[in-house]
Amino acid sequence: MNIYSFTRQDFEKYFEKIGEKKYKALQIYDWLYKKRVNSFDEMTNIKKELKEKLKKDFNFEKPQIIKIQNGKDVHKFLFKLKDNEKIEAVLMNHDYGNSLCISTEVGCNMGCAFCESGRLKKRRDLTTDEMVLQILEIEKTVNTRISHIVLMGIGEPFDNYNNVMKFIDIINDDMAVAIGARHITISTCGIVPKIKDFSKEKRQVNLAISLHAPNDELRSKLMKINKVYPLKEVIEAVKEYLKINNRKVTFEYIMLKDINDDPKYAVELANLLKGLNCYVNLIPYNETSHIEFKKSDNKQIMKFYDVLKKNKINVTVRREFGSEVDAACGQLRSNYKEE
């Protein structure tokens, strides 16, 4: 078992099972996440006999960073996993801290028309440790603290639900990575049953919905998932989430030139979201050579923004990152495979 896949509670149960004191879980966590050691031999307050047992039961296998692209306030990392699969993570430097966008799967089966990640179909889920180690390895590489985590990289997080929830438990633990729940955002394309499951978790983690269209006809052309869970069902699930959690939901809307950026769609979007505790994040599209969609020009984005504002919808335009790197999610992995 990989040691980075265990929550503190998992370790407590493990130590009880082998006849050791529960407090040893805290010792292990201190060595792993505060002192950042790479072996049991470095854990000086663990007795030799227990170290030998731990060595048999756990490993410290880590993904390898094989390529880094650096741009203005953005750094993109390509990881090679133990089975030679590749994933990406993107570090963005904001004025409020360092935000890391991580992957949750190798490939993605959601098949959104505009998304580079979906061109390479899902091979498997990432394990909990493979998600945790994206943070630890990047922190070590750039020698800086990551303050915010966004699950918006390769893969649909709710299609790897159990491992993602365990990942959140670990990184949110004050004795582990210690990232506050309100500094963690999960983005989903709209898997309705999982949105409902997540509502019942009553976590303080932020929820973002990848919307990208204000009606079923257009959304179904852009996102296959809409044919399974149409907008009405997604909005009802969001209402249920808001009722239980009373936390603002983000709706992400990628601005695609001459596709979904006409102001008439902004009017539709305002009507769809009216009365919800939410805000809309307009996202300039990262173009890729493999997909024909183009980025809306800034003037068109601001027209869309103004319509939403006039209709009393909270809206922001995401700052553009990565013009000097393979910015689109999955693009670095895709280009590496072609090379």
Domains with residue ranges and CATH for the chain? 3-57 (1.10.150.530), 64-338 (3.20.20.70)
Whether 320 sits among the annotated catalytic residues: the reply is: no
pTM over 0.85: yes
pLDDT at 338: 45
pLDDT at 332: 56
Reported as half-sphere exposure (CB side, CA atoms, 13 A), residue 248 has a value of 10
**Residue 4: is it exposed, middle or buried by C-beta count within 10 angstroms (0-12/13-18/19+)?**
buried
Cα separations (Å) of 207 from 202, 263, 289? 11, 26, 30
pLDDT at 324: 55
Name the residue among 98, 99, 90 with its Cα closest to residue 68: 90
Q: Which of 12, 88, 105, 156 is catalytic?
A: 88
What are the tokens at 125?
């889920």
Report which secondary-structure segment, H or E, holds 17.
helix 8-17
Q: Which residues of 77-111 are buried (b: 16+ CB within 10 A; e: fewer)?
A: bbbebeeebbbbbbbbeeeeebbbbbbbbbbbebe
Q: Which of 116, 292, 329, 339 is catalytic?
A: 329
Whether 88 sits among the annotated catalytic residues: the reply is: yes
pLDDT at 323: 54
Altogether, the residues listed in the chain come to a count of 339
Q: Are 171 and 205 in contact (CB under 8 A)?
A: no
pLDDT tens over the chain, length 339 residues: 999 999 999 999 999 999 999 999 999 999 999 999 999 999 999 999 999 999 999 999 999 999 999 998 899 999 999 999 999 999 999 999 999 999 999 999 999 999 987 677 899 999 999 999 999 999 999 999 999 999 999 999 999 999 999 999 999 999 999 999 999 999 999 999 999 999 999 999 999 999 999 999 999 999 999 999 999 999 999 999 999 999 999 999 999 999 999 999 999 999 999 999 999 999 999 888 678 899 999 999 999 999 999 999 999 998 876 555 555 454 554 554 544
